[in-house]
Amino acid sequence: MNSSIITPTSTSTDVFQIGYYITKLIKIEPKICNKKINGSDPPRPLLICSPSERGVFPVLLFLHGYLLYNSFYSQLLQHIASHGFIVVAPQLYCIAGADATEEMKITTEITNWLSQGLGHLLPPHVEPNLTKLALAGHSRGGKVAFALAQTKQYSTSLKFSALIGVDPVDGMDKGKQTPPPVLTYVPHSFNLDGMPVLVIGTGLGEVKKNPLFPACAPKGVNHEDFYNECCKPTHYFVAKDYGHLDMLDDDTKGVRGKATHCLCKNGKCREPMRRFVGGVLVAFLKAYLGGDSRDLVATRERHEMVPIQLQRVEFLV
């Protein structure tokens, strides 16, 4: 199949707004959770968000947070895809314990499946460019992404070109990391072979919602600790007045969806934080998958274009 390559662009230069491309959400859900139906099926249910227009687009594999549904990120995925990216968000499990090792294994299986299966699920004349593949994760999904990017135990047939942690968390507290532990508390110790990294943190993530619940992104195992262990090039943003789940959809349904409004300290509204996370992700991906760093540089130098107040911005380059 022949397709023209469309460079990800927007009708405006504002990565914090919805981009040029009309997007399509594609839900691939095997009948039995955690079971592969046949040889052509993905290893787990998927939510794919893709541009609907002809082209060849970079791919982002996005891992959900602990006990969350991939559907809770629909609006964020659509924002990213509208700027010319194919986003694949697997449902890694229905239920899970403390150990994230199985999630690393599943993510490896999904990554290895992409080259043979993803193209068949996309809109007509849309093709994935798997030489430009990024790995991202939120919360525990961020932990899994960092662990997989460094491990030698699970090898993928495709190479990741960029790594993103959206408020990543490595456990309950320093000294109470969940297995497998990712943080070593040694500065710049992550062995990522020069892979570019984006770390996004939340100012309210380390604040308890109330005395009965722990903080959702406790100090000692959160974004700051992940950033401290990254090497060049790394880009670090902390949203001041927003919480650990404020990048989710406005309406998250069901018991788990309602819990996302109750368990963590939240900001006033999810929409600005979601636009910020989507915009920074797009700017980072354009820089390291597309070779255009203008928007990424602008997020540091022109704070007026950012839809939220930033607590901290650092570029380790």
Q: How confident is the model at residue 152 (pLDDT cuts 50, 70, 90)?
A: confident
| Active-site option among 64, 79, 223, 244 | 244
244 annotated active-site: yes
- Determine the pLDDT at residue 211: 85
- Determine the pLDDT at residue 36: 47
Query: Angle of helix 101-117 relative to helix 140-150, nearest 10 degrees?
Result: 70
| Active-site option among 74, 167, 223, 249 | 167
Average pLDDT, the chain: 92
- Determine the pLDDT at residue 40: 74
261 annotated active-site: no
139 annotated active-site: yes
| Number of residues written out for the chain | 317
Find out whether the peptide bond into 8 is cis, omega within 30 degrees of 0: no
pTM above 0.75, yes or no: yes
**pLDDT (average), residues 134-153:** 96
- Residues 260 and 72: their CA atoms lie apart, in Å, by 10
In this structure, the number of other CB atoms found within 10 A of the CB of residue 281 comes to 27
- Determine the pLDDT at residue 188: 97
3-state secondary structure of 79: helix
Query: Is 70 exceeded by the pLDDT of residue 185?
Result: yes
- Determine the pLDDT at residue 38: 55
- Determine the pLDDT at residue 116: 93
- Determine the pLDDT at residue 7: 37
- Residues 7 and 83: their CA atoms lie apart, in Å, by 9
| Active-site option among 10, 50, 82, 139 | 139
- Determine the pLDDT at residue 203: 98
Query: Is 60 exceeded by the pLDDT of residue 9?
Result: no
Task: Please state which of the ranges 64-68, 207-211, 249-253, 310-314 shows the lowest mean pLDDT.
Answer: 207-211
